[in-house]
Homo-oligomer: A and B are copies of this chain.
């Protein structure tokens, strides 16, 4: 259900409860901000003491206001919040911004006050931001409740951290960017991130949505909302905390949030087309890139600079980022020569060799030629351009004109141009940005932007969960044999096996399956650690001895005799699924065997996925070339592996009681894929 957030961002009237005359209080910041919008709407300040605050009358309570406030900001001690919200809803408020913190705990009657208040708000048909939030901001509405520091611009920011929002704001300003809206999420008792994303996706001035989240709440709802926004043309950027154990520890201590596993967050981003970043700088850098029109079709980049050093350094950084620097075509080289001195180099990177000083228009001319070149997908200008006007004021106008022509060339050709300049705060840099060209102060950021636009960096092509209605599935009874049978039922082939309880049955199974076989104690969760697995039994003698030894050590029980697979003939994968508390079933595939830990080569997706998505998931592994027949080997049966991965994903999605599931290894050979071991962990077991 999409919530109507008009009363939150564009209210006809606002009341600030807890408005303060003390400039050190947040209630003062909120009141000052609210009053700045007094020419757009009615603004009322509420303070029990009455009197006057910031030159405006202070009303003792909401009930004393001359008109009903559409938005009520609540900045009062925790104990009074419930009462104030009741009062607000009573006088007809449609949106609450709950700044107050500390009422998430249960009261003396064991009631969760935060949940109760949120429920009251929903029943009243209103919405609530927070509690424990720092306010809202809407640039075009001139709604400023706490965030006057934000300049206007195309970014909508939804954040669970005030100081990070401040850093993002400063970085955005340095990149000549600003904000359309800001919402401090707080504890998300009522409105959650997904609600904000849904609203921002249809907010005309918003061209990119930036999220800082520690708690994803209903993760699938967020994924759906972000996917809708992305498809509708508004990219979503996510900076998420708690990706590592230390980060998670911090996040838990910060908002009491249950932090989602970092891999589940990654899967969610892949599913929704969200661009995931790790730092505030990366977020603003990516926003600048995504706000530009350029979307290169490939990863062939042309670099140009005045001075070879910058071209050399940029070339190395580009190559390290997986981008290509092809030589230019002869016709491009010939065309370039006409604009450059004889000493210039017109291979890629192009080096003006001092040609800049002979006429700054050459920056635009060369840029246009490279943007037009068929052999090139994107262009990087790196180095000094932007500094002519700063260091030699007489050149300022010529440089500005060249910047304008260069931006025009990018717009007219539809090509992708990214600029790195030592002078990123110059008027020339600002002119380029106004013309839609992303400009960065360090070459690594410019290259990261190119990699992002070329789809070489997060998120890549979305890995969308299948939109299917799966009938709920009963989980298997606990036990190894039961897990095997369950997997076989849903379509994951496992190596041939027999469940045995006596020595005689074991030897019969050995003969029937064909030696060599393995013997496994079925009841242990981590069988190999308990000494419950004996591999490579080559005949009756070996199997019999192993049976005696294992039953003597672990006691009589059902054992599994299994045909040994020839692992050297294929590649071992790990296929698994986990239930994430926020994002639900997540399917995982990775390289198995002895190199698994070193490579840490794992790909994840929200479950369920179909066979073709499963194949893309497998092929996204770094080890994928091994499956296609590296070093003269024949290609392996990737389709069979994909079938198993898809089956696992469907099972995990249909059976919520499955907490963890591993098929490890899944041996992929030239003619199929077969699981050699399996494990299922259920909730509540």
The answer to whether A558 has its CB under 8 Å from any CB of chain B is no
What B residues does A279 contact at CB under 8 A? 313, 317, 442-444
Residue of B nearest to A168 (CB): B422
What B residues does A159 contact at CB under 8 A? 309
The answer to whether A254 has its CB under 8 Å from any CB of chain B is yes
- A contacts with B, residue count (CB < 8 A): 81
What B residues does A422 contact at CB under 8 A? 163, 166-167, 170
The answer to whether A599 has its CB under 8 Å from any CB of chain B is yes
Q: How far is the CA of A277 from the CA of B167 in the complex (A)?
A: 27
A589 to chain B minimum Cβ distance, whole angstroms, is 16
The answer to whether A84 has its CB under 8 Å from any CB of chain B is no
Q: How far is the CA of A327 from the CA of B248 in the complex (A)?
A: 12
Residues of chain A from 307 to 359 with CB closer than 8 A to chain B in the complex: 307-313, 315-320, 324-325, 327, 345, 347-349, 351, 357
What B residues does A163 contact at CB under 8 A? 305-307, 309-310, 383-384, 422
The answer to whether A623 has its CB under 8 Å from any CB of chain B is yes
Q: How far is the CA of A310 from the CA of B162 in the complex (A)?
A: 10
Q: How far is the CA of A282 from the CA of B299 in the complex (A)?
A: 25
Residue of B nearest to A305 (CB): B163
The answer to whether A565 has its CB under 8 Å from any CB of chain B is no
Q: How far is the CA of A594 from the CA of B345 in the complex (A)?
A: 40
What B residues does A206 contact at CB under 8 A? none
B320 touches A164 (CB 8 A): no
A315 touches B250 (CB 8 A): yes
Residues of chain A from 347 to 389 with CB closer than 8 A to chain B in the complex: 347-349, 351, 357, 383-384, 387
Residues of chain A from 573 to 616 with CB closer than 8 A to chain B in the complex: 594-595, 597-599
What B residues does A241 contact at CB under 8 A? 308-309, 312-313, 315-316
A347 touches which one: B253, B383, B632 (CB < 8 A)? B253
The answer to whether A243 has its CB under 8 Å from any CB of chain B is yes
What B residues does A56 contact at CB under 8 A? none
What B residues does A623 contact at CB under 8 A? 595, 598
What B residues does A626 contact at CB under 8 A? 594-595, 598
- Given known A162-B307, A307-B161, contact A312–B351 (CB-CB < 8 A): no
The chain A residues found within 8 Å of chain B, CB to CB, are 24, 149, 159-164, 166-167, 170, 212, 214, 239, 241-247, 249-251, 253-255, 278-282, 303, 305-313, 315-320, 324-325, 327, 345, 347-349, 351, 357, 383-384, 387, 391, 422-423, 442-444, 528, 568, 594-595, 597-599, 622-623, 625-626, 630-633
Listed A/B pairs (5) with beta-carbon separation below 8 Å: A246-B319, A246-B324, A250-B349, A280-B442, A595-B599
